[in-house]
Structure 1
């Protein structure tokens, strides 16, 4: 099915259509068509012409899956259940030499997409496009099935490799198991150092080093860092960051850390990125993606743009999903 051919010309941040109870920069209603409330937000930017242009990034045929293995996160944060995998022999039940398997996952305990019904704007208790918390309890609105029914997520991915940037500039990267805030000025500097220019409808992918840290950490370090302390590297949640992200109009935002933004957020801050992305804009958030081999291929190709596909689990009303993501060079 894919995206439509609609063209979107965004107002300036301060000139967005006023929405009662919402801040300037809110995009509720912007993607509505024919009297129907939109449920996919900035994925509308992945129109057919945008996807066709993105396909030109396929030049070598090398491809990298970006899902971290489901069992990887040893100690999920915030009381979430760890991944469980059970293999079932068919010898007794079917008199067949073979196997089935069953898995249990909390979709927030590994590589994931956050859907537009995952995290509300807390003070207002509303999700994207005005869906209330109370209405969401009894409806499937803003669920991930909407993404699947449009054909999944396909577009141009752009990696901004903050680990390599900091190692080159400072000699080492920040501790990923700490609440280190990455200023948006550093993101801009890293893009410039890579020679990367973004465009409307891109999927911005930020490597900050959490997966690399976790892969090399001891069991005790993992328990302390992800379960007991639960502080993580990520983008700085500030007015400057929010305005920069708005001005670049990305289709989705992805990171290799637990919450994309530095976590936990500052209490009562008006600039929490989860609220701006998921709530006010309808921009999907990808978290804990495995960007390690992707970083290597970008360095080898000396380009940080690639064709990106993602097929989330087709679950009606789904709140989150493994991404099923592949980058193709």
Structure 2
């Protein structure tokens, strides 16, 4: 498959592989020619897109037919929405405006961390301590302006397709439950599946899955200022429990990418029962705050991009109003050559 598969496709003219041509996740786990549980080489040895290749399993014209109500939603937070930073290594940018004449303005940004708020994690973002980066890429080559696994490949694709909103918060509230965001509650795969069943939602090959935990609503409306400040120190966030069954579910459904309204899609930090602790973690050689996280397997092994801090509240409310949880989504990362991640610039059309 070429680095940029034909994305403007129709039902009658698809240059794609059949869904059954791809191995199932259990076959990936049994690999001895690549890291177990990896998709390395499945999309080609020089692949730059990972599971975004699955977008070609869907008909873009069919995805466009999900736009019925004629409403559009930005899924991006304002630049001042997250304070203080949720990651200790990221700082708010400094916005500078200057003028050449009284009737002219220009600007620049200092200290611009591309993964500060609403973002998409690219394939350079996380490597696996035991196996390295996606498709065996050499991380020492990840320099500004270099090609391998740069975020600019996502922009050139481009990313557009059918998305399904899994409103976990809405489902739990409908049955008298809730998520404990103050404690950083892990969410089970069974809860995600129950949410989709409750909504009557079906995941199709090539879909983008948008998971709403209600975390952003809690951050903005219900939490104390002290709780928000302590997030950086304590680093605890509601999200999906680290679970190999979840990886199997995502891969075998041929999900193109996932995004959520929380910090990392998965709960943070990884639970002590996570199956994703690397050998370096178990031996105590590495003192890594990423120990046990699912990012390593999602991004580095499967090649699945992750969207974080997506603002899904208004979109989910609109979905609940008419009982239809599908939409057309476009994602336009900044075309930074060699970029690690980017603001998502995501829009949902219904």
CA displacement at 1:98 relative to structure 2 = 3.3
CA displacement at 1:137 relative to structure 2 = 5.1
* 1:159 equivalent in alignment to 2:159: no
Contact 2:58 2:206 in 1 (8 A): no
**Partner of residue 100, structure 1:** 106
Note the 1:1-329 alignment, pairs <5 A.
2-3=6-7, 5-7=15-17, 8=19, 9-16=21-28, 18-20=31-33, 22-23=35-36, 25-32=37-44, 37-47=46-56, 50-90=59-99, 94-103=100-109, 104-124=111-131, 126-136=132-142, 139-150=146-157, 152-169=158-175, 171-216=176-221, 217-224=223-230, 226-266=231-271, 269-271=274-276, 272-329=293-350
Equivalences, count: 318
Gaps of 5+ in 2: 8-13, 277-292
* SS of 2:268 mapped into structure 1: coil
What stretches of structure 1 move > 6 A for 4+ residues in a row? none
| TM-score, normalised with respect to structure 1 | 0.90
Gaps of 5+ in 1: none
Contact 2:48 2:153 in 1 (8 A): yes
For 2:32 and 2:300, how far apart are their aligned partners in 1? 13
CA displacement at 1:249 relative to structure 2 = 1.3
RMSD over aligned Cα atoms: 2.1
Contact 2:258 2:307 in 1 (8 A): yes
Mean Cα deviation higher: 129-138 or 247-256: 129-138
